[in-house]
Structure 1
Amino acid sequence: MTIISACGRLKEMPLPTPDDPACTAVVRERLAAERERWIRQLDDTTRWVIDNVVTYAAGWPLDELRSISADCAVQSRMITLSERTEETKVELLGELAAATQNILSTYWWRRVSHHHSDRAQLAAALARLAPDPAS
């Protein structure tokens, strides 16, 4: 949820352009500092997720759920460490976290009724992380 929330805030509150007459230099500086705090929050959270995956993933009752948990922890951290733009990182982290949450952090009846669509959403998010074979 922390990743989803931080990504949502970063998407919804872009930094105003320097020539925006509705935004003073002081407010722009404060917004930039707040956005930087949210970026650090993503870094801290993905670090915690990867550092603690052994502890929380082991608690899932199915191998598939343990595997999804571990894979998404690694992928989230790799997105954060990558050289992608901030905008791209936020988009990818948000997609991956939402897809993972739909599978891992939901009621069992939703898991049953949305099994295929949730896995398709996760597969699509992970496919966006694969290297481009044309490059």
Structure 2
Amino acid sequence: MGELPTQLAIDCLDAQDGVVRLVARGEVDLYTLGVLEAAVEEAWRPGPATVVVDLTGVTFCCVAGAGVLIAARSAAAVHGVDLVLVTRPGILRRVLRLVDGLEPVPAGSRPPPRGAVAPVRLP
């Protein structure tokens, strides 16, 4: 008997002051990758100033999931939307930093003001 596909739930909280907040729980893998991609894209399409993706409830994220987050940040920026990722300390935060210079904000932090989000390049 094979393993069951993993689960990923993403809630979209109402936009307040131009900020849409997505809260993800579960695992991001090849089975659930499309769920993450669709939710992030749908969140920035209405044109909020900022989309916050709270990944503190994500227990696993494959490299393809990190790629989706990096691509989503670039696509949102083209449309004038800041994409802010909130992560727990650990591997996902390190991967995002190393691969794209993305600097996720720590859990419990407030999103930075509009226009203050910029990639951080490591030496």
Give yes or no for TM over 0.5. no
Higher relative contact order (CA 8 A, sep 6+): 1
Give the structure with the higher percent strand.
Answer: 2
- Higher gyration radius (CA): 1
Q: TM-score normalised to the size of structure 1?
A: 0.27
Higher helix share: 1
